[in-house]
Structure 1
Amino acid sequence: MADGEEDMDEYEEEDNDSLARHDLCMVIEKTEGKARCAAIAIYHKGNTYGHLFKTSLVGKPVVVSMDMEFNRFVFRNNDKLWYPDAMNSIFGKKIISECYGSIHKYIRSLGVPLYAPKNLKEAFLSEMESIITESLRTWAANPNMEVKEAMTNMLFRITIKKVIGFESDSPSTKELRKKFELFFQGAVSFPIYVPGIKFYQSMQARKYVQKVLKDLLKQRISTPQNRYGDFLDIVVEELQSEEALVDENFMVDLVCGLIFACIALTPTTLTIGMKFITDSPNVVEALTEEHDAILKKREVVNSRITWEEFKYMKFTNQVINEMVRVSSHGPGIFR
C-alpha cells in the first residue's frame, strides 16, 4: 500500500474516532439522570480501554462498541434486539426485545394509517395546532419555564389524543402523564421488586396504565360501530379481524410502548432545536419571514393552518431536518 493511502486510512480512522467521541459528548450534554451517568461512564471507559470493551449495565454483562465500522457491521448483520430486564418488564418483552423481523413490519403496518397523508390533512394537523397554540399561550404567561418538561407535556397531550382519544386536559390524561414519568425513572434500573425502589414504582405504574388501556379497549370492542379517528380504532379493527396475528395483551403493550416512544425521544430533539434557534437570530428572522408571508396570503388571518400552507414552509422543513440530524436521543442502541 502506498504511503499516501496509509496516511488516508489513518486519517479516516482518526476521523471516525473523533466522530464517535463527539457523538457521545453530545449525548452527555443533552441527557440527564441515569442515562447521563451511563454516557459519562462509557466515555471514561472508552478513554481507558479503547473503542471495544466489556462492562456491566444494571447487573448484566455487556460489550460496548464505539467503533463506527464495527457498529455498522453489527446493525447490518444482526436485527435481534436486547434490552435490560427492567425495560422488558415495564414495556413487555414482546414489544421491546422480540420486536424485529416480521413482527416489526407488522407493527409498522398498523401505525401507517394513523400518520398517512390523508389523516394528516383532515384531522391531525388541526388537532396538533390547537394543542400547540394553547401550550404557547401558557408558556407566554409564565416568567420562566423548563423547556424539556414543557415540550414533554405538550407532546404527551398530542400523543394521548391521537393514540387513545383522551382529551388533552382531562384528569385521566394528567394521571397517565405521571405514570409514564415513572416509566422513565425505572427503565434503566435494577429489576428489584421492593416497595420504595424505582423499579417497583414503575411496575405499579405499568399495572395502572394497563388497566386503563384494557378497560378502554373492552369498551371500544363492545361498540365497534363508534369511530374516534385514533390508533385504538385500528387496534380494535385488527383484533376483530379473522386474520388477527396478536392478542389483546400484545396490543395493550403496543399502545403503551407507542405512547412512551412518542414522548421519550421527540422532546429532546425539540429542546435542542429551540436552543439552536435561540442562538441563531438569522434563522429566527428567516422563519418569521416565511410564516408572515403565509399569513399575508390568508383571507382570514386567524384561520387554521392548511396542508397547502404546511407544504409551503420550505425553510421550516429544512430547520426541522437539521434539528433531527444534530440531535442524539440516547446513550446507545442495544443489540
Structure 2
Amino acid sequence: MRILGADCIIATLGSFHKHLRSLVLRLFGPENLRLVMLHDVQRIAHASLLSWLHQPRIELKQATSSMIFSVTAKRLISYDESSSSEGKLWMQFNAFLQGLLAFPLYIPGTAFYRCMQGRKNVMKILRKLLDERKKAAHRGSIDFLDLLIDDLKEKKHLMNENFALDLLFLLLFAGFETTSSGITAALRFLSDDPKALQELTEEHDNIRERRDDPDSEITWEEYKSMKFTSHVIHEALRLGNIAPVMFRKVIEDVHIKGYTIPKGSKIMINPSSAHLNPTIYKDPNEFNPWRWKDRAEPVGGASKEFMAFGGGLRLCVGADFAKMQIAIFLHCLVTKYRWKAIKGGTMVLSPGLQFPDGFHIQLLPKA
C-alpha cells in the first residue's frame, strides 16, 4: 500500500471500484484496443525492431520495457520521450522495481528506501503534468489524463487528485513491467525450442501470405486468428509466473472445504501453486505450448487453474492489452527477423520473475 499509494485502485471496493474499472476500460477495453491500440503497438514494434537490427546486442527486458512504455505512456499522459524535458521517464521506475518486494525498512541505503524515492520522483513529474494540464485549454479528452481531469470535476465526491495520480502511477508501472517480462520469457523459452518457434513462425508467415499486401498492418481478425501464438503466450505466462503473489482482504467470513476464513483476514494467493501443479499440468516445468490445444483457454483471461492476470472482480484490467502486445510483437519479430542468444537468460522465479544476468540477444534479418 505504501509503495503503490494508499488511494490506489487496489484498495477500492464496491461501486467505486466498478466505476474505476469502467474508466480504465475506456483505454484498455476491446473497442479501443481494436480501433487505436492495435495500430500503436504495431508502429512501435516495427520501429523498435528496426532500431535493434544493427546493434551488436540488446538486453531484451530493458529494450522491450522502453518500447512498451512508449505505447502506454502516450495514451495515458501523451508522453513522448523524444520531446520530453523529463528525459526517460520509464527509467525512473528502475529504483522502484528493485525494492518492490524488499523488506519495508525506510532507511537511506536500503532497497525499500530507493524504491520509495523512485516513486517520489515519478509522482513529482505526474503532479507537475496534472497541474499544467488543468491550466491548459480543454482538449476534449485526448488521453487518459484528460479523462481523469474530467472525472475529477464530475465526481468530486468520489475522486481526488491524489487518487488520480496514484492510479496513473499504477497504470504506467503495470502497463510496461509485466508485459516486457512476458515477452522476455516467451523469447527465452522459444530460443530453446526450435519446434515451437517453427510452428509459431509458420502461423505468422501464413497470415502474411494471405494478404494482398504482405506488409500491410495486422487486422483485428488476423490478431484473433493467432491460435498457436495464444498457446505460446499462455504457456510462457504460466511458467514465468510474472505476478508471484496476489493479496486480498476478506470482507466477510468465507467457508471453504471445512475451514472458515474470518472477515478482516489478509490473504496471499500464490499462482504458481496452481501453475506448477502436476495434477493440473502434466510435466509442469516443461515449456509445452501444445498442451493448450487440448484444454479450454481461460475465459476472460483467468480461471482457478490459470491466474497470470489475477481473477474474479480483481482481474487485471489490462490483460487483453498485454496479450495483444505480446502477440503483435511476436508477429513483427518472426516474420522479418531472427535472433541469437548472446548472454544471460537465466530465469529466477522468486520473488517474482527476474533475469539476474539479463537476456542479451542479437537481432538478425530473416534468412
Name the TM tier (shorter chain).
0.5 to 0.7
Give the whole-Å Cα distance in 2 for the aligned partners of 1:173 and 1:306. Answer: 35
Provide the residue aligned with 2:125 in structure 1: 212
Instruction: Please say if residues 72 and 172 of structure 2, whose CA atoms lie closer than 8 Å, have aligned partners that are also in contact.
Output: yes
Instruction: Please say if residues 207 and 222 of structure 2, whose CA atoms lie closer than 8 Å, have aligned partners that are also in contact.
Output: yes
- Runs in 1 of length 4+ with deviation above 6 angstroms? none
Measured against aligned partners, the alpha-carbon deviations of 1:71-118 in whole angstroms (never above 9, x if no partner) come to xxxxxxxxxxxxxxxxx3332122276344444333322211112222
**Equivalent pairs: percent with the same residue?**
39
Structure number with the higher helix fraction is: 1
Give the whole-Å Cα distance in 2 for the aligned partners of 1:245 and 1:224. Answer: 24
Give the whole-Å Cα distance in 2 for the aligned partners of 1:287 and 1:299. Answer: 21
Give the whole-Å Cα distance in 1 for the aligned partners of 2:232 and 2:183. Answer: 11
Give the whole-Å Cα distance in 2 for the aligned partners of 1:244 and 1:303. Answer: 47
Instruction: Please say if residues 152 and 159 of structure 2, whose CA atoms lie closer than 8 Å, have aligned partners that are also in contact.
Output: yes
Provide the residue aligned with 1:110 in structure 2: 23
Instruction: Please say if residues 96 and 117 of structure 2, whose CA atoms lie closer than 8 Å, have aligned partners that are also in contact.
Output: no
Measured against aligned partners, the alpha-carbon deviations of 1:140-173 in whole angstroms (never above 9, x if no partner) come to 2222232222222222222212221112444456
How far is 1:246 from its partner? 1.3
Give the whole-Å Cα distance in 2 for the aligned partners of 1:188 and 1:96. Answer: 19
1:175 counterpart = 2:88 = yes
Give the whole-Å Cα distance in 2 for the aligned partners of 1:141 and 1:173. Answer: 28
Instruction: Please say if residues 102 and 111 of structure 2, whose CA atoms lie closer than 8 Å, have aligned partners that are also in contact.
Output: yes
How far is 1:330 from its partner? 4.2
Query: What pairs up with 1:1-335 in 2 under 5 angstroms?
Result: 88-95=1-8, 98-172=11-85, 174-223=87-136, 225-227=138-140, 229-242=142-155, 245-334=158-247, 335=267
Give the residue type in structure 2 aligned to 1:128. Answer: V
Measured against aligned partners, the alpha-carbon deviations of 1:15-67 in whole angstroms (never above 9, x if no partner) come to xxxxxxxxxxxxxxxxxxxxxxxxxxxxxxxxxxxxxxxxxxxxxxxxxxxxx
Q: SS state of the match for residue 89, structure 1?
A: coil
Give the whole-Å Cα distance in 1 for the aligned partners of 2:205 and 2:144. Answer: 34
Change (3 A) 1:244 1:286: farther
How far is 1:288 from its partner? 2.0
Q: SS state of the match for residue 187, structure 1?
A: coil
Give the whole-Å Cα distance in 2 for the aligned partners of 1:312 and 1:230. Answer: 29
Aligned length: 248
State the TM-score, normalizing by the size of structure 2: 0.60
Instruction: Please say if residues 183 and 202 of structure 1, whose CA atoms lie closer than 8 Å, have aligned partners that are also in contact.
Output: yes
For structure 2, the residue ranges without an aligned partner over 5 or more in a row are 248-266, 268-367
Instruction: Please say if residues 7 and 162 of structure 2, whose CA atoms lie closer than 8 Å, have aligned partners that are also in contact.
Output: no
Instruction: Please say if residues 273 and 323 of structure 1, whose CA atoms lie closer than 8 Å, have aligned partners that are also in contact.
Output: yes
Change (3 A) 1:224 1:287: farther
Structure number with the higher strand fraction is: 2
Give the whole-Å Cα distance in 2 for the aligned partners of 1:113 and 1:97. Answer: 18
Instruction: Please say if residues 165 and 228 of structure 1, whose CA atoms lie closer than 8 Å, have aligned partners that are also in contact.
Output: no
Give the whole-Å Cα distance in 2 for the aligned partners of 1:322 and 1:229. Answer: 36
Give the residue type in structure 2 aligned to 1:213. Answer: L
Give the whole-Å Cα distance in 1 for the aligned partners of 2:198 and 2:8. Answer: 43
Instruction: Please say if residues 272 and 327 of structure 1, whose CA atoms lie closer than 8 Å, have aligned partners that are also in contact.
Output: yes
Instruction: Please say if residues 9 and 17 of structure 2, whose CA atoms lie closer than 8 Å, have aligned partners that are also in contact.
Output: no
For structure 1, the residue ranges without an aligned partner over 5 or more in a row are 1-87
How far is 1:129 from its partner? 0.9
